[in-house]
Chain A
Amino acid sequence: MKVNVQVNGVPYERDVEPRTLLAYFLREACGLTGTHVGCDTSSCGCCVVVMDGSRAVKSCTLFAVQADGHALLTVEGLAEGGKLHPLQQGFWDQHGLQCGYCTPGMLLASYALLKHNPNPNETEIREALAGNLCRCTGYQNIVKAVQQAARSNANAGTSQ
């Protein structure tokens, strides 16, 4: 069946099996392989994308048809005009990733967090990312990365 979505501002119309999960729709029908799949039970969060501007969703737990008519943001859409998003910069600067497999989901879950809470404290960050597993970093540098991004956003806001 036909699914129409906007991904990173680009319209995609694809004809897929009704049972196609959004994660595989993005990866295989749209060719956006930055969104990963790490479990079968909605536990790991590697597949998190942002729907309609600020809602973090696990794309392995939605059918593609449920996203019909919605706007999605994936890791491929974070950088703008060749400039890394403050979260991407934060993860890089603070060594917030190792194997990189959980990173897209972490970035998008953090993106949604900062939309709702631009200046989260450590507890709030840890709570917001509790649905995203990481086997490499021990989370500490991920927390620092999100804090750096929040500071960077605040500074950008001030300078404007």
Chain B
Amino acid sequence: MSTEVKHEGSLGVAMKRKEDPRFIQGKGRYVDDISLPSMLYMALVRSPYPHAEITSIDISQALKVPGVKAVITGKDLDAAGLGWLPTFHGLDKQMVLALGKVLFQYQEVAAVFAETRGAAADGAEAVEVEYKPLPVVADPFAAKADKVILRPDRERKTNHIYHWEVGDKDGTARALAASPKRIKQRIWFQRCHPAPLEPCGCVAQFDTMGRLQFYVTSQAPHVYRTALAIVTGIPEDKIHVISPDIGGGFGNKVPVYPGYVCAIVGALKLARPVKWIETRTENLTSTGFARDYHMDVEIGATAEGRVTALHVATTADHGAFDAAADPTKYPAGMFGVVTGSYDFPVAHAEVDAYFTNKAPGGIAYRCSFRVTEASFAIERAMDILADELNMTAADLRRKNFIRKEQFPYPSPLGFTYDSGDYQKTLDTALEKIGYNDLLKEQAAKRARGELMGIGISTFTEVVGAGPSKHFDILGIKMFDSAEIRIHPTGAGIVRAGTKSQGQGHETTWAQIVAEELGLDPQNIMVEEGDTDTAPYGLGTYASRSTPVAGAAIAMAARRVREKARKVAAHLLEVAEADVEWKEYKFQVRGVPAKSVTMKEVAFAAYTNMAQNEPGLEASYYYDPPNMTFPNGTYVAVVDIDRETGESKVRKFLAVDDCGTIINPLIVEGQIHGGLTEGFAMAFMQEIQYDSEGNHLNTNFTDYLVPTSQETPHWETAQTVTPSPHHPIGAKGVGESPNVGSPAAFVNAVMDALSPLGVRHIDMPLTREKVWRAIRDAEAKKKQL
């Protein structure tokens, strides 16, 4: 029957990406590429003050600007019941446009709608707002005092948002008190920003049927549809959300932003489509920031270096609204993974979050909800402990790793780690990078007074949110979904509830379907991001696409296969029980010569299906039984210029264990990208506010993105420990390099500076900070 060559399988193949031809020819379709007839442009008026009462807003001059069609303010929205927007984890709300006062610099105050981009900007300039400045609370420690209550709209009249804790508080305190060795360190993970190159934006249109057509840069289009229905009162069937091509997201495009609501209101009010594309400044100053965790980390250990207890107390700065996009039950996200790769007998973690006069957020920037913070804290603290014990960073880790026979491992903070072989991953990394030679080189350099450092990070992540028992966003459980149709010729389409922002789903999802069904991945089309066609899913962030939607795709494909088996039995003229799926074909059990391909079965499913139901399609909603736990060992080698404080990353090796690999090319690309973002946080990025609440990094000249010149050369390698509970054993990888690498960089710099007695410097490790640390250390030495 078949003239096809033997199918070799599609999993683990470094297939070139199917989406690339359109991107390399300028044929991508990003939201700003969408232009609709008679479309208006929207610009936002933003507050110059971090905290102020609004005494008046005069829109009369703005309305006289040629081309301006309308201006709306918070009062207009409030009158329509749209003054506030619930934040994604449902524990707070956020003003759409300022109501009575502003709470952070660059807060949205009014929206201007005009015929052109320029006219909208002119109109925004012409809106006159009078402010009466109020006292500013610019840091969470000041917020604790409650001298100024920032959110009197809330029931509890305090700046304290929540206290969250997990673990054995008393047991941890006792174990720490009894430990012969203890270290304690305040570690700040600075405020940073995902800054995808494409800013956020949308086009809103009410079509001739009165239905909202909403094109938006969303990592979670289905959740947007539901959230918009809840916020606006528009019935959900009358909302169509389309996430077109997205120019990077990294968590920044998960929340629903005030600008989106304003654009929809404008489109409704003016009965014309409205486009809003934020500027880079708007992106950096008002949309979801990440981190800003002040973590007091304490580890107890025996004199031999066996860890006995971990305590972490965190003060979190959430800005003016609690807009962290965390699952409902997890206000501090997955911070409980802070015990990392180590077998702590007891641990306790707590987070206290506060309002300040800064932009809202605390989103999961390339991170599964606060995992980056947790990972950085434990990996830094382990190095400080190693120093204290006079052990190498590698030896201390080896001594305390969760051993591979301990999996599934119940962590003291409530997770069940699925699988891993940390020892093997570390050994692979140290051997590959030549750790012993590096140590010798370092000793020689130290003798000459040169500053060379080797930094290790042996991190464990928790991703793939998540089991419905624990995880929801706005009440919606965090499953994901897939729908597969195989056409008569053996081509097909798969739709999923996720949304790629560069991760390459059009390729990897096709590979999973092709692997499960023995079809050609080139002819499996992937479609995501359209709520009218794709099945409901929670979207792409927190490394959940492969662990959750990837599993749904494999399971849906297996349902297709079961359906196909009946048709195959008919074609092979045997009972269904005698048909087996082997080597990507249906065979008569024990008679390999008698076989049919999926392609042949697909054709028969439409042309010769006998008594079977026609067609060949299936869907699957996958509720993961557990999270997945990708892990890795990263090693950074740095040289520091004593005179300038400049750190040069001479070598970097990432050994990742993300379980089964779907496409090694894409995995490697994800790792390169994530490492570069980790490098940026370690050495150059910080969203800074001055003590008056002024935002100091409002564009790419002040908020630095590494260029091709600074970015180090990345080396990568893999160990593969499949997830035992995932249908294809995959764990997800997109975030590992961003989660695991900051500690490797910082540990390397601190290792270089350790002969000077420098113990810790908070990121970013700019030349100035490192230079000052060297100078201060040298001055101190002279005094002694």
Cα of A125 to Cα of B708 in the assembled complex, Å: 9
Cα of A75 to Cα of B245 in the assembled complex, Å: 17
12 A-B pairs (CB sep. < 8 Å)? A27-B33, A32-B26, A38-B280, A44-B700, A75-B24, A75-B25, A97-B24, A100-B502, A102-B197, A137-B676, A138-B675, A140-B714
The reply to whether the CB of A33 lies closer than 8 angstroms to some CB of chain B is: yes
The reply to whether the CB of A10 lies closer than 8 angstroms to some CB of chain B is: no
Who on chain A is nearest to B679 by CB? A138
Task: Note all chain B residues with C-beta closer than 8 A to A36.
Answer: 30, 32, 197-198, 247
Please state if B709 and A138 are interface contacts (CB–CB under 8 Å). Answer: no
The reply to whether the CB of A51 lies closer than 8 angstroms to some CB of chain B is: no
Instruction: Choose one: A27, A84, A95, A135; the contact of B248 (CB below 8 Å).
Output: A135
Interface range for B: 35 or more
Please state if B705 and A97 are interface contacts (CB–CB under 8 Å). Answer: no
Contact A139/B197 with A35-B26, A95-B666, A99-B246 known, Cβ cut-off 8 Å? no
Which parts of A1-48 form the interface with B (CB within 8 Å)? 17, 19-20, 24, 27-28, 32-41, 43-44, 46
Please state if A44 and B197 are interface contacts (CB–CB under 8 Å). Answer: yes
Who on chain A is nearest to B501 by CB? A99
Main secondary structure of the interface of B (DSSP, over half): loop
Please state if B504 and A133 are interface contacts (CB–CB under 8 Å). Answer: no
Who on chain B is nearest to A75 by CB? B26
Task: Note all chain A residues with C-beta closer than 8 A to B281.
Answer: 40
The reply to whether the CB of B55 lies closer than 8 angstroms to some CB of chain A is: no
Taking the closest CB of chain B, its distance from the CB of A92, in whole angstroms, is 5
Taking the closest CB of chain B, its distance from the CB of A142, in whole angstroms, is 7
Instruction: Choose one: B197, B504, B669, B709; the contact of A135 (CB below 8 Å).
Output: B197
Please state if A143 and B708 are interface contacts (CB–CB under 8 Å). Answer: yes
Please state if B25 and A132 are interface contacts (CB–CB under 8 Å). Answer: no
Cα of A24 to Cα of B117 in the assembled complex, Å: 10
Task: Note all chain B residues with C-beta closer than 8 A to A141.
Answer: 669, 672
Please state if A95 and B669 are interface contacts (CB–CB under 8 Å). Answer: yes
Task: Note all chain A residues with C-beta closer than 8 A to B669.
Answer: 95, 98, 136-137, 141
Taking the closest CB of chain A, its distance from the CB of B509, in whole angstroms, is 16
Please state if A74 and B26 are interface contacts (CB–CB under 8 Å). Answer: yes
Contact A138/B24 with A39-B699, A127-B709, A129-B708 known, Cβ cut-off 8 Å? no
Please state if B700 and A92 are interface contacts (CB–CB under 8 Å). Answer: no
Which parts of B1-60 form the interface with A (CB within 8 Å)? 16-17, 19-30, 32-33, 35
Report B659-684 CB contacts with A as 1/0, cut-off 8 Å: 00000011011101101110000000
Cα of A122 to Cα of B372 in the assembled complex, Å: 32
Please state if B502 and A98 are interface contacts (CB–CB under 8 Å). Answer: yes
Task: Note all chain B residues with C-beta closer than 8 A to A131.
Answer: 707
Contact A136/B502 with A36-B247, A41-B701, A43-B701 known, Cβ cut-off 8 Å? yes
Which parts of B400-457 form the interface with A (CB within 8 Å)? none
Who on chain B is nearest to A89 by CB? B24
Task: Note all chain A residues with C-beta closer than 8 A to B701.
Answer: 41, 43
Contact A107/B24 with A43-B700, A133-B700 known, Cβ cut-off 8 Å? yes
The reply to whether the CB of B199 lies closer than 8 angstroms to some CB of chain A is: yes
Binding site for A on B (CB under 8 A): 16-17, 19-30, 32-33, 35, 116-118, 195-199, 245-248, 250, 279-281, 501-504, 665-666, 668-670, 672-673, 675-677, 699-701, 705, 707-709, 711, 713-714
Task: Note all chain A residues with C-beta closer than 8 A to B503.
Answer: 98
Task: Note all chain B residues with C-beta closer than 8 A to A46.
Answer: 197
Cα of A17 to Cα of B675 in the assembled complex, Å: 43
Instruction: Choose one: B16, B26, B677; the contact of A34 (CB below 8 Å).
Output: B26
Please state if B26 and A17 are interface contacts (CB–CB under 8 Å). Answer: no
Cα of A40 to Cα of B277 in the assembled complex, Å: 12
Contact A133/B705 with A41-B700, A99-B501, A138-B675 known, Cβ cut-off 8 Å? yes
Cα of A93 to Cα of B669 in the assembled complex, Å: 12
Residue from A20, A33, A44, A78 whose CB has the most chain B CB atoms within 10 Å: A33
Please state if B665 and A134 are interface contacts (CB–CB under 8 Å). Answer: no
Cα of A49 to Cα of B713 in the assembled complex, Å: 27
The reply to whether the CB of A76 lies closer than 8 angstroms to some CB of chain B is: yes
Who on chain B is nearest to A127 by CB? B709
Which parts of A73-115 form the interface with B (CB within 8 Å)? 74-76, 78-79, 84, 88, 91-93, 95, 97-104, 107
Contact A88/B247 with A95-B16, A135-B673, A143-B708 known, Cβ cut-off 8 Å? no
Cα of A39 to Cα of B26 in the assembled complex, Å: 18
The reply to whether the CB of A126 lies closer than 8 angstroms to some CB of chain B is: yes
Cα of A20 to Cα of B501 in the assembled complex, Å: 29
Binding site for B on A (CB under 8 A): 17, 19-20, 24, 27-28, 32-41, 43-44, 46, 74-76, 78-79, 84, 88, 91-93, 95, 97-104, 107, 125-127, 129-143
Please state if B196 and A135 are interface contacts (CB–CB under 8 Å). Answer: yes
Cα of A133 to Cα of B248 in the assembled complex, Å: 12
Please state if A99 and B196 are interface contacts (CB–CB under 8 Å). Answer: yes
Task: Note all chain B residues with C-beta closer than 8 A to A32.
Answer: 26
Task: Note all chain A residues with C-beta closer than 8 A to B199.
Answer: 38
Please state if A19 and B705 are interface contacts (CB–CB under 8 Å). Answer: no
Please state if A98 and B504 are interface contacts (CB–CB under 8 Å). Answer: yes
Task: Note all chain B residues with C-beta closer than 8 A to A133.
Answer: 197, 700, 705, 707
Instruction: Choose one: B117, B247, B502, B673; the contact of A38 (CB below 8 Å).
Output: B247
Who on chain B is nearest to A28 by CB? B35
Cα of A6 to Cα of B434 in the assembled complex, Å: 56
Cα of A134 to Cα of B714 in the assembled complex, Å: 15
Instruction: Choose one: A44, A92, A129, A135; the contact of B17 (CB below 8 Å).
Output: A92
Please state if A38 and B708 are interface contacts (CB–CB under 8 Å). Answer: no
Taking the closest CB of chain A, its distance from the CB of B528, in whole angstroms, is 14
Task: Note all chain B residues with C-beta closer than 8 A to A135.
Answer: 195-197, 248, 250, 673, 676-677, 705
Please state if A100 and B504 are interface contacts (CB–CB under 8 Å). Answer: no
Who on chain A is nearest to B279 by CB? A40
Taking the closest CB of chain B, its distance from the CB of A66, in whole angstroms, is 17
Task: Note all chain B residues with C-beta closer than 8 A to A92.
Answer: 16-17, 20-21, 24
Task: Note all chain B residues with C-beta closer than 8 A to A91.
Answer: 20, 24
Who on chain B is nearest to A139 by CB? B708
Residue from B29, B30, B673 whose CB has the most chain A CB atoms within 10 Å: B673
Please state if A101 and B504 are interface contacts (CB–CB under 8 Å). Answer: no
Taking the closest CB of chain A, its distance from the CB of B43, in whole angstroms, is 13
Cα of A10 to Cα of B538 in the assembled complex, Å: 45
Please state if B699 and A78 are interface contacts (CB–CB under 8 Å). Answer: no
Taking the closest CB of chain B, its distance from the CB of A149, in whole angstroms, is 12
Contact A76/B25 with A24-B117, A99-B501, A132-B708 known, Cβ cut-off 8 Å? yes
Residue from B19, B677, B700 whose CB has the most chain A CB atoms within 10 Å: B700
Cα of A133 to Cα of B700 in the assembled complex, Å: 10
Please state if A130 and B195 are interface contacts (CB–CB under 8 Å). Answer: no
Cα of A131 to Cα of B701 in the assembled complex, Å: 12
Cα of A21 to Cα of B279 in the assembled complex, Å: 15
Taking the closest CB of chain B, its distance from the CB of A18, in whole angstroms, is 10
Please state if A126 and B708 are interface contacts (CB–CB under 8 Å). Answer: yes
Task: Note all chain A residues with C-beta closer than 8 A to B27.
Answer: 34
Cα of A102 to Cα of B248 in the assembled complex, Å: 10
Cα of A118 to Cα of B200 in the assembled complex, Å: 37
Please state if A140 and B713 are interface contacts (CB–CB under 8 Å). Answer: yes
Taking the closest CB of chain B, its distance from the CB of A104, in whole angstroms, is 5
Task: Note all chain B residues with C-beta closer than 8 A to A76.
Answer: 25-26
Taking the closest CB of chain B, its distance from the CB of A72, in whole angstroms, is 13
Cα of A11 to Cα of B299 in the assembled complex, Å: 69
Contact A38/B16 with A33-B26, A92-B21, A133-B705 known, Cβ cut-off 8 Å? no
Please state if A99 and B21 are interface contacts (CB–CB under 8 Å). Answer: no
Cα of A28 to Cα of B701 in the assembled complex, Å: 27
* 9 more CB-based (< 8 A) A-B contacts, given A97-B23, A135-B196: A34-B28, A44-B700, A78-B25, A92-B21, A98-B502, A99-B502, A103-B24, A140-B672, A140-B713
Task: Note all chain B residues with C-beta closer than 8 A to A74.
Answer: 26
Cα of A33 to Cα of B244 in the assembled complex, Å: 14
Please state if B118 and A100 are interface contacts (CB–CB under 8 Å). Answer: no
Task: Note all chain B residues with C-beta closer than 8 A to A126.
Answer: 708-709
Please state if A101 and B16 are interface contacts (CB–CB under 8 Å). Answer: no
Cα of A34 to Cα of B27 in the assembled complex, Å: 6
Task: Note all chain A residues with C-beta closer than 8 A to B23.
Answer: 97, 100, 103
Task: Note all chain A residues with C-beta closer than 8 A to B711.
Answer: 138-140
